[in-house]
Amino acid sequence: MAAPLAFEQPSIDKAWQAFLQHIPVFVVIYLGTLVFTFLGFAIYFGIVLIAAGASGGNSDAALSLATALGQIAQFPFSLITSLLSVLIVAVPALFYEQGEVVTIGAAWQLVIGRFWRYLLAGVFFSVVMTIGFVFCILPGIAVALVTPVYVNRIFVTEMTIGEAFSQSFQIVYRSENGLSFVGLEVLTGLFAGFLTLLTCGLGAFVFVPMASFYLQNVAYNRGLLR
């Protein structure tokens, strides 16, 4: 059962206050994402440049092989970056579930303690969403819109990945307030995106987490999550 504050009436001010309480953990998330992204690109370009230098830039086969090896070496860093990015949604879910501020230490222990669960859940969701976009755009969008609920189920319950995904779809598209939640999710995303554009992208560091807090609160308040 979620904390009582999860069922309170959602508001922008409450989302803002929740964000302020979690600034330290979000700073670490952003810095970690930046560092691992930089390391991944550095390794990729390092391998390509070494191969180009060794071959004198005259061997297409060597450059192609170096590019492939660079992408393989970069892949683990991309996975870690993706996992850190998911915490932007997971931290609000944990906050409303536990009723306590999620500290840096708590977030770290959570990720390390169940690393493979979260990693596999992210890979599964990404594959399903990609397939949806490839074969028909609308299914991909439908999958993307269950993200707040899916991440909540993965991080705060003991459901299997398949169960969490299935229940997320049922909650969002078959429950009484599901479609209204989708509409509000789209509007929140558009509003956050607009404000991000107005601030030349910098606003994303504030508005995206705020949107996550707001949507988690809405999901609990409207009975989608319990």
Q: Find the mean pLDDT for residues 54-62.
A: 67
Quick one: pLDDT at residue 56?
Answer: 65
Q: Report the predicted TM-score, pTM, of the whole model to 2 decimal places.
A: 0.92
Q: Could you tell me the two tokens for 217? A: 């609160």
The whole-number pLDDT of residue 59 equals 63
Residues of the chain with pLDDT > 70, as a percent, come to 97
Q: Is the pLDDT of residue 57 over 70?
A: no
Mean pLDDT on 214-226:
95
**Is the per-residue pLDDT at 63 higher than 80?**
no
- Asked if residue 4 has pLDDT above 80, the reply is yes
Residue whose token pair is 């390794």:
43
Query: b/e for 109-145, b at 16 or more Cβ within 10 A?
Result: ebbeeeeeebbebbebbeeebeebeeeeeeebebbeb
Question: What is the distance between the alpha carbons of residues 50 and 53, in angstroms, rounded to a whole number?
Answer: 5
pLDDT-based confidence at 124, cuts 50/70/90?
Answer: very high
In angstroms, rounded to a whole number, what is the distance separating the alpha carbons of residues 15 and 9? 11
Q: What pLDDT, in 10s, does the model give residues 68-81?
A: 888 898 899 998 99
Tell me the C-alpha distance between 26 and 95, whole Å. 13
Residue 8 has pLDDT above 90, yes or no: yes
Q: Which amino acid is at 175?
A: S
Lowest mean pLDDT across 41-55, 117-131, 135-149: 41-55
Task: Quote the pLDDT of residue 218.
Answer: 97
Mean pLDDT of 164-173: 95
Kindly list the distances between the CA atom of residue 196 and the CA atoms of 81, 89, 111, 199, 201, in Å, as whole numbers in the listed order. Answer: 21, 17, 28, 5, 5
Is residue 170 pLDDT above 90, yes or no? Answer: yes
Task: pLDDT band for 1, please (50, 70, 90 cuts).
Answer: confident
